[in-house]
Amino acid sequence: MIMLKQVKKWFNKRITLIFAPGEGSRSFQVRVSYPFITFLILTTIGIFVAGAYMSDIYANYLYAVKKNKKLVTQNSDYSQQIETSLDMISNVKKIEVQLRGLLGMRTARNIVEKYPMGGAFSEDSELFSSDFNSIDQQSRFNSNVAEIKRESWEQNQSLNNIKGFINRKKDVLLSTPSIWPVFGYITSGYGWRTHPISGRKEYHKALDIYNMLGSGTPIRATARGRIVLAGWAGSYGKVIIVSHGNGFSTRYAHISQFAVKQGSHVEQGQIIGYVGSTGNSTGPHLHYEVRYRGKPVNPMRFVKGR
Ligand SMILES: [Zn+2]
């Protein structure tokens, strides 16, 4: 009961506000109730709070607009970069085709494993979808990204295939007698000649190479392989026979000293012995033979231009 009385009293309370506009004007007063003044104060606070809240929303909106503009610019930038990447990939593809042509390889179509298709790109669509203002642009973007992924995958496979091909070629090249065993003059080439000792016409199935250093000039294996003979063999004198695989073997005759043992493996360019004049020879030189499937062939076919 006491509470109710106090509230009633508060409601009936009045406050007198005196307005004094200044000199020359009459001052006036207004009597207002406590509840009214409370209402006025609360309303003012409410308006301020609402205003602050609204201005915050507006600031956020402005920020969103600005960000969106930036994203749109960024997107078109990305799209352009993707177009450039596609151009570059298509250039790489052209070079790859040319490379295959130069190497006499088959086209990649039969060799390259296709990129695994299916749900692979769903994550991308989700990733990019929210930032796009049109479905068209988005789907184009996605398909371009997918194409870059697929093309890069295929290029990667194709280049690995080319690398393997070159490695196999390199292996064949290293196993093919393709370098000079010694540097010097060819004193007797491959073909018909009059034998310097017997004076008879004969078919010389080798190159005779003379080096100014004479005896002791290092002889190098012209391809990698295995020493199948390092010993004496009649008119050859001291001779080394190297088997290279792929049907090739080489013979190095009249040598003075061995640098390798029979049965050992040699690399292309490795020193295997030294020039001499052992066996049927008129002076220090290397008698160098290349055989393919057991038959002598002209060594110049392999060393020319090297
Ligand atoms: Zn000879």
Q: In the chain, what are the domain boundaries?
A: 185-303
Query: Cα(23) to centroid of ligand 1, in Å?
Result: 137
Query: Cα(296) to centroid of ligand 1, in Å?
Result: 12
Residue for token pair 């406050």: 15
- Helix intervals (H) in the chain: 2-12, 34-103, 122-129, 135-174, 300-303
Name 183's Cβ contacts closer than 8 Å, sequence gap at least 6. 211
Query: Cα(173) to centroid of ligand 1, in Å?
Result: 25
Query: Cα(267) to centroid of ligand 1, in Å?
Result: 24
Find, among 271, 110, 97, the residue nearest to 181 by Cα. Answer: 271
What fold is seen in the domain 185-303? Glucose Permease (Domain IIA) (2.70.70)
The answer, as to whether pTM is greater than 0.85, is: no
Mean pLDDT of 74-88: 89
> Interhelix angle for 135-174 vs 34-103, to 10°?
30
SS (H, E, C) 242-274: EEEECCEEEEEECCCEECCCCCCEECCCCEEEE
Please tell me the predicted confidence (pLDDT) of residue 109: 64
* Residue 259 CB neighbours (<10 A): 17
Query: Cα(306) to centroid of ligand 1, in Å?
Result: 21
Mean pLDDT of 81-90: 90
Name 155's Cβ contacts closer than 8 Å, sequence gap at least 6. 89, 92, 93, 96
Query: Cα(205) to centroid of ligand 1, in Å?
Result: 8
Query: Cα(287) to centroid of ligand 1, in Å?
Result: 4
> Interhelix angle for 122-129 vs 135-174, to 10°?
140
232, 251 contact by CB (below 8 A): no
Q: What is the DSSP letter of 108?
A: G
Q: Is the pLDDT of residue 239 over 70?
A: yes
Please tell me the predicted confidence (pLDDT) of residue 296: 94
Which residues lie at CB < 5 A from ion ligand 1?
A: 206, 208, 287
